[in-house]
Amino acid sequence: MMILNMWLVFIVMFFIGNLIFVSKNKHLLIVLLSLEFIVLGIFFFMLLFLSFIDYDMYMLMVFLVFSVCEGSLGLSLLVSMIRTHGNDYFQSFSLL
């Protein structure tokens, strides 16, 4: 029963993160936070799955390295966007 609750927590985390990501948000920071929430849900799923099959946790370390790199890349894009446009609204800049 406890394992079922943990799987349910993962599913809820993943779908709430996706719901926030696909909804119409104005700010880039909210989108980046929802992406990090999805990554945290996937990390939780990998932790449960690898411990369930009694596998080595080395892959979790690799996943954490990639998620930290993804987070730092997103924050650097946010900072550069704020420096060039003055805010993080999606409507304030065009693709032209």
Phi-psi region of 55 (alpha: psi -120 to 50; beta: other; left: phi over 0): beta
What six digits make up the tokens of 49?
A: 């799955």
- Asked: is 2-85 a CATH 1.10.10.10 domain? The reply is no
The one-digit pLDDT tens for each residue of the chain (96 residues) are: 677 788 888 889 889 989 988 887 788 888 889 999 999 999 988 988 888 888 888 889 999 999 999 999 999 988 988 888 888 887 776 655
Model pTM?
A: 0.82
Dmax over Cα atoms in the chain, in whole Å?
A: 54
Note whether 3 and 47 are within 8 A (CB): no
Which residues sit opposite 27 in a β-bridge? Answer: 89
Distance from CA of residue 89 to its chain's centroid? Answer: 19
